[in-house]
């Protein structure tokens, strides 16, 4: 066999690195972790960082090793095999759907933690959406913005206050390519230049706009500097670039979408640009508005009225004037489509998106109900007549199920994780999995979590300048055999991260039982300007320093996708304590059951659709009609009672094989009932049925 030259090996590895399927097809990333393990870990598993750090001489040496060559060949084979397999959408295509092309517009995308172009759940959902489209063969292209500084990196000072760290990413070091195409996006009196960057995700393309160009004025270069910086004027201009720029980018790339999917109201200006193009081609304004609406799918994610973006109508008219002029629209037309609250009210991005979309959905059954009531005035009818559907969110199994779990389910129930189907009926067999082997898996995943958490705690201690005593405490934190509860999500106040600490005496009693150990891991970020959210993080930090809780309750910094995978796989229980009905859906709790985890949640978001009494626990404090203080007291009391009387005894009650049989039965029932229904594959099939197909037909 001829020896592979370094240039050929580098080309083969680069081809693997530039296709983001390595984020969930494990053999595709194995050559990089094998080539430079330390750099792979230090770079947040960035394959291009590994290649950049590898000399030709070293690469050629590794290419001549049988073991490495075998791993590289397996990676190429895995990619080729995935290229060749039949996709669900090809099998399910209906007449006329060969021309279907979906444009999906979102302000953030979480594909992998090495590219931090996301702040939280919206971006993670968008990333899972694209990955399922790649797996199922759905012809969808993503459009968004490329942020030079991403969101932010979180560090906590010794007193628990948040230090906001804003890195400056070099796109040359990331699996992102320059298409060589640019657009000129009109925003007010300025034409903003943006280059179109590309991320390949199997058969799905993601195009991101970058305005950090020397041809732009400094304020325009700032448009893609960072994500959700808080300045309303900057945010408005970013949303103009997102919505209008996406349409320009689609044309520049030679695409003619038949369906436009706006993921949250940030992209609402997209409809105005599409109307302008229709009017320019000779369509009457009223007809153009109707046509654009029938071709548009809009997903709303926010069940709280204050969470929807609103801007001064006059300022919006000024910024959108070039687009409005081309559409033959005036300020009164913009007001008719997007104004809220009467003649002096602001333009609401969600209202604009609702009025320019025929196919509208919330992201859970309960959220659909809340949305119909919230927006009934826009439609001028009673809530039960509002045409807002719901499509409950799901998670991408390949991303959130670790290889150890995938191997276990493959062996135990014949699961085929890469199978291109919307619903994997094989999960129903999970209840028959061998309990001994299942518990061995759970112990392994929990031990891995403890190991990762300790490493991070040591790093945090060193960053805060703690001495050897503090580092020793970090190294001794947590136990491999304790009931491990996870709470990791954005530190928004409605999510009530500190609820667990409502009655410290009662919590101390639960966590101090040496024969029935329990431990709690927290992680999460608050927006840099969200002082109440940061105060919640500080409160949790203070609790970790309490002598009775130290080493048993911990807070991990910089919650990202990588830490999220370890937490959701390793925790025995995923805790969720929002104020009902403020959680639109939530998806983190859907990830644990892929590895045999269980949920302990308020009946909000997706959980009311999943809970059946045998696959997890619902915190029912009967508190929905109570005031804030009484509600927190009632919910905390219900939480403590579940822990004391049910979860802790069930986890620690062992049979003669040292197995918690009752707990295992719950966990396997959770895997059997949650994983089939709450995958992004199922979610995408519903979008095809209820949104994409009707929009493609113009219904």
Residue-wise DSSP of 232-275: HHHHHHHHHHHHHHHHHHHHHTT---SEEEEESGGGTTHHHHHH
Each residue's pLDDT tens digit, 391-403: 999 999 999 999 9
pLDDT of residue 6: 83
Tokens of 270: 């997209």
Three-state DSSP class for residue 550 = strand
Lookup result for tokens 């859907």: 590
Residue 291: is its pLDDT beyond 60?
Answer: yes
| Region 128-145 average pLDDT | 98
| Region 554-571 average pLDDT | 97
pLDDT of residue 243: 98
Residue 336: is its pLDDT beyond 90?
Answer: yes
pLDDT interval class at 419 (50, 70, 90) = confident
pLDDT interval class at 270 (50, 70, 90) = very high
Share of the chain above pLDDT 90, in %: 93
Residue 1: is its pLDDT beyond 70?
Answer: no
Domain boundaries along the sequence of the chain: 6-85, 89-393+684-697, 397-414+424-675
Residues 6 or more apart whose CB falls under 8 angstroms from that of 254 comprise: none
Same CATH fold, 397-414+424-675 and 89-393+684-697?
yes
Residue predicted with more confidence, 571 or 342: 571
Residue-wise DSSP of 355-415: HT-SEEEESSHHHHHHHHHHTHHHHTS-GGG--EEE----B-HHHHS-HHHHHHHHHHH--
Separation of alpha carbons 195 and 176, rounded Å: 12
Query: What is the reported pTM?
Result: 0.97
Q: What are phi and psi of 401, to 5 degrees?
A: -105, 115
Separation of alpha carbons 232 and 119, rounded Å: 17
Each residue's pLDDT tens digit, 32-90: 999 999 999 999 999 999 999 999 999 999 999 999 999 999 999 999 999 999 999 99
CATH code, residues 89-393+684-697: 3.40.50.2000
DSSP symbol at 500: G
Do residues 103 and 136 touch, judged by C-beta distance below 8 A?
Answer: no
With CA atoms as reference, report the closest residue to 125 among 109, 104, 138.
Answer: 109
pLDDT of residue 524: 95
Residue-wise DSSP of 592-651: GGGGT-EEEEES-TTHHHH--SSSEEEE----TTS-HHHHHHHHHHHHHHHIIIIIHHHH
Lookup result for tokens 């397999």: 85
Lookup result for tokens 């009752």: 662
Separation of alpha carbons 597 and 483, rounded Å: 11
CATH code, residues 397-414+424-675: 3.40.50.2000
Q: What are phi and psi of 33, to 5 degrees?
A: -70, -30
Least reliable range by pLDDT among 2-6, 456-460, 476-480: 2-6
| Region 182-203 average pLDDT | 97
pLDDT of residue 118: 93
Residue 624: is its pLDDT beyond 90?
Answer: no
Each residue's pLDDT tens digit, 642-690: 999 999 999 999 999 999 999 999 999 999 999 999 999 999 999 999 9
pLDDT of residue 2: 58
Each residue's pLDDT tens digit, 570-595: 999 999 999 999 999 999 999 999 99
With CA atoms as reference, report the closest residue to 417 among 21, 24, 17.
Answer: 24
pLDDT of residue 343: 87
Residue 482: is its pLDDT beyond 80?
Answer: yes
């Amino acid at each position: 066999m001829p020896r592979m030259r370094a240039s050929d090996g580098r080309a083969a590895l680069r081809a693997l690195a530039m296709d983001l399927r390595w984020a969930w097809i494990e053999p595709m990333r194995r050559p990089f972790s094998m080539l430079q393990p330390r750099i792979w870990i230090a770079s947040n598993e960035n394959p291009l960082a590994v290649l950049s750090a590898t000399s030709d001489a070293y690469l050629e040496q590794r290419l001549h090793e049988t073991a490495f060559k075998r791993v590289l060949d397996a990676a190429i084979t895995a990619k080729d095999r995935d290229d060749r397999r039949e996709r669900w959408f090809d099998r399910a295509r209906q007449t006329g759907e060969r021309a279907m092309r979906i444009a999906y517009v979102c302000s953030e995308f979480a594909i992998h933690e090495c590219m931090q172009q996301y702040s939280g759940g919206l971006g993670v959902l968008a990333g899972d959406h694209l990955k399922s489209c790649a797996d199922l063969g759905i012809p969808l292209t993503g459009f968004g913005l490329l942020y030079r500084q991403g969101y932010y990196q979180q560090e906590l000072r010794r007193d628990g206050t948040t230090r906001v760290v804003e890195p400056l990413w070099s796109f040359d070091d990331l699996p992102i390519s320059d298409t060589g195409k640019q657009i000129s996006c009109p925003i007010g009196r300025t034409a903003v230049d943006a280059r179109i960057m590309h991320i390949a995700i199997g058969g799905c393309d993601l195009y991101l706009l970058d305005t950090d160009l020397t041809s732009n004025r400094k304020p325009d270069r700032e448009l893609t500097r960072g994500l959700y910086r808080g300045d309303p004027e900057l945010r408005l201009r970013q949303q103009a670039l997102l919505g209008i720029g996406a349409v320009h980018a689609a044309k520049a790339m030679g695409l003619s979408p038949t369906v436009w999917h706006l993921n949250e109201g940030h992209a609402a200006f997209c409809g105005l640009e599409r109307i302008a193009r229709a009017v320019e081609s000779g369509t009457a304004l009223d007809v153009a508005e109707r046509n654009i609406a029938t071709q548009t799918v809009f997903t709303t994610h926010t069940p709280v009225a204050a969470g929807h973006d609103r801007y001064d109508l006059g300022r919006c008219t000024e910024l959108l004037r070039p687009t409005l002029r081309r559409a033959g629209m005036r300020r009164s037309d913009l007001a008719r489509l997007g104004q809220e609250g009467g003649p002096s009210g602001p333009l609401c991005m969600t209202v604009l998106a609702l009025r320019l979309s025929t196919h509208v959905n919330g992201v859970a059954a309960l959220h659909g109900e809340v949305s119909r009531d919230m927006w009934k005035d826009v439609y001028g009818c009673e809530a039960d007549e509002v045409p807002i559907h719901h499509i409950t969110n799901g998670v991408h199994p390949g991303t959130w199920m670790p290889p150890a779990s995938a191997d276990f389910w493959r062996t135990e129930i014949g699961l085929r994780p890469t199978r291109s189907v919307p619903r994997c009926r094989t999960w129903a067999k999970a209840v028959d999995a061998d309990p001994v082997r299942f518990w061995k898996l759970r112990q392994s995943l929990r031990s891995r979590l403890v190991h990762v958490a300790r490493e991070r705690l040591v790093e945090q201690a060193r960053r805060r300048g703690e001495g050897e005593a503090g580092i020793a405490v970090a190294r001794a934190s947590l136990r491999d055999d304790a009931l491990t509860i996870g709470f990791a999500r954005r530190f928004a106040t409605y999510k009530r991260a500190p609820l667990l600490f409502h009655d410290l005496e009662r919590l101390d009693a639960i966590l101090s039982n040496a024969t029935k150990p329990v431990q709690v891991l927290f992680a999460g970020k608050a927006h840099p300007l969200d002082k109440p959210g940061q105060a919640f993080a500080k409160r949790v930090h203070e609790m970790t320093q309490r002598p009775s809780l130290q080493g048993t309750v911990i807070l991990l910094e910089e919650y990202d996708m990588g830490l999220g995978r370890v937490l959701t796989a390793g925790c025995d229980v995923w805790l969720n304590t929002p104020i009902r009905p403020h959680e639109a859906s939530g998806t983190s709790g859907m990830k644990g059951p892929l590895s045999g985890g269980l949920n302990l949640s308020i009946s909000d978001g997706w959980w009311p659709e999943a809970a059946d009494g045998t696959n997890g626990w619902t915190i029912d404090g009967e508190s929905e009609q109570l005031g804030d203080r009484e509600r927190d007291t009632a919910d905390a009391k219900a939480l403590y009672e579940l822990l004391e009387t049910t979860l802790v005894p069930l986890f620690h009650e062992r049979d003669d094989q040292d197995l918690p049989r009752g707990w295992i039965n719950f966990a396997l029932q959770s895997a059997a009932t949650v994983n089939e229904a709450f995958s992004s594959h199922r979610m995408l099939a519903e979008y095809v049925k209820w949104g994409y197909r009707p929009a493609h037909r113009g219904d």
